[in-house]
Amino acid sequence: MHLIKLILKFSTIGLAIIFFNYTVYAQNAPIVAQVNQEAISLETLIHAINDLPKEIQSQPFLSYYEDLLERVIDVRLIAQEAKKINLADDASVKAAIEFVTEKILMQAYLAKYVQESITEETLKNSYENYIADVTSREEIKASHILLDTEEEAILIIKQLNNDESFEELAKMKSKGPSGPSGGDLGWFGRGQMVPAFENEAFSLALEEISQNPVQTQFGWHVIKVFEKRIPETPSFESIKVNLIQDNERRLISKRIQELRNVASIKKMTSAELEPLLDLPARQK
């Protein structure tokens, strides 16, 4: 038996593995079509699922099987024509095929590596570490006033220090969508806000107002914390999927760094590349 594992997407901080599972006989997969005497197996069809929109992928396989098969037949027909005119020997096509091949090998390797590395025991250890790390699970209830300039934010802080109402100032001055509700952001945990905002918000004590404006890509923030809490400890099963994803990201990031550390890598800089390119001035 062979478990088909397709990695469907990558995250920005690593490579988040998402598996699309179908159990089939890899060596004896049913032949679902023949195109000019070339066989198309069920396994080929399963790999083609990755090209479908997510809303279709979420439906039962048999509901879109025939449409998918027609798509794969079209691909095979056109590929056959490309081979007849030797497009497989074109340098650009060769480079594209090489890259796709390496990408698939990478995905297969990472899937195997993660599957062999993540066990029930490692997940249980991750869970114990998670519930023991109270700081990372802390949540706060905060409000903010968003301003366009630092000067405006400093003026707001002075007004707040003179006991003016945070809620009323937010309603009158805040540029953010929470302004009409007094700047209320509700409850949030770590990792839900941009880093600069999060670092300042979680450093504040109850009822404390930030005394230095916080700059983010959205503008300048004045923050006040109203409540803090540690959420009830979740069960292992309720966060098991998140634990798996966290372990995947950590393991893959670590493995990539290990490979980089022992590899011989030589790179051409953009400055070195530029003279070799015939780019219009606006693209340089």
Residue 168, domain CATH: 3.10.50.40
How does pLDDT run along the chain (284 residues), one tens digit per residue? 233 333 333 332 333 333 334 444 445 779 999 999 999 999 999 989 988 999 999 999 999 999 999 999 999 999 999 999 999 999 999 999 999 999 999 999 999 999 999 999 999 999 999 999 988 889 999 999 999 999 999 999 999 999 999 999 999 999 999 999 999 999 999 999 999 999 999 999 999 999 999 999 999 999 999 999 999 999 999 999 999 999 999 999 999 999 999 999 999 999 999 888 876 655 55
Nearest to 39 by CA among 1, 66, 76: 76
Quick count: other Cβ atoms within 10 Å of Cβ 268?
Answer: 8
Quick one: pLDDT at residue 283?
Answer: 52
- Domain with 218, as residue range(s), is 139-229
252 near 15, Cβ under 8 Å? yes
Based on the fold, state whether residues 58 and 113 are members of the same structural domain.
yes
From 117, 152, 175, give the residue that closes a domain: 117
User: Quick check: is 274 in a domain?
Assistant: no
Q: Domain tally for the chain?
A: 2
Quick one: pLDDT at residue 113?
Answer: 94
Based on the fold, state whether residues 94 and 200 are members of the same structural domain.
no
H runs (alpha helix) in the chain: 42-48, 54-57, 61-84, 91-117, 120-132, 134-137, 150-161, 166-173, 195-203, 240-262, 270-273
Quick one: pLDDT at residue 282?
Answer: 52
Based on the fold, state whether residues 113 and 164 are members of the same structural domain.
no
Based on the fold, state whether residues 11 and 107 are members of the same structural domain.
yes
